[in-house]
Amino acid sequence: MVKINASVFISGKGTNLKKLLLNSNLYNFPIKIKLVISSNKNAEGLKLAKKWSIPYLIFKDNHNLTEKIILNKLKDHKINLILLAGFMKILSKRFIRSFGKSILNIHPSLLPKFKGLNTFEKVLKEKEKKTGCTVHFVTEKLDTGKIFLKKFFYIDKKDNIASLKKKT
């Protein structure tokens, strides 16, 4: 099976990255992770990249310069797919257009409800009966791209922000 070269963008613990790495070893999983990008130099997920010997880059303060460097690295590694997995930066329109290939985002709500940040707080405040996770294509508008996959679960009365994070 020919696998798609992918880059995973992270910001924190790397929970999604870990699952993607484990699955990428399976014969029928369609991607191979070739590069990790982090918006946080202290992200726990970077330890996974090191452990799996995957090259990584860190977003610097100069956003425009960093995007150029990252686009060049994506090209160098022949990346055809970007997976935003807990990535807490918004990619610029220029970056999205310049990459010109598929970018998927893992979003912790059932889109189109609760776009953006603080989704768990919003879900609890609105007393939703269910929530979940949406994987969607990234467009220039925040959390509005075509939905690729959606999974839901019912919210228990005892759930709080921490328990919802664990479930998604």
Q: 44: closest CA among 11, 7, 88, 84?
A: 11
pLDDT at position 53 is 96
Active-site positions?
Answer: 107
Question: How far apart are the C-alpha atoms of 143 and 76, rounded to whole Å?
Answer: 28
Two tokens at 38? 């982090």
Residue 102 — pLDDT band, cuts 50, 70, 90? very high
Q: Percent of the chain beyond pLDDT 90?
A: 89
pLDDT digit string, tens, across residues 20-70: 999 999 999 999 999 999 999 999 999 999 999 999 999 877 667 789 999
The CA-based dihedral angle spanning residues 71, 52, 83, 41, taken in that order and rounded to the nearest 10 degrees = -60
- What is 61-114 written as a DSSP string? S-HHHHHHHHHHHHHHTT--EEEEES--SPPPHHHHHHH-SEEEEEESS-TTSS
In the predicted structure, residue 126 carries a pLDDT above the cut 80: yes
Mean pLDDT of 78-92: 94
Mean pLDDT confidence for 59-84: 89
Task: List CB contacts of 101: < 8 A, sequence separation 6 or more.
Answer: 79, 80, 81, 82
Q: Using one digit for the tens of pLDDT, what is the confidence trace for 148-165?
A: 999 999 999 999 999 998
pTM of the model: 0.91
| The predicted structure's pLDDT at residue 66 | 87
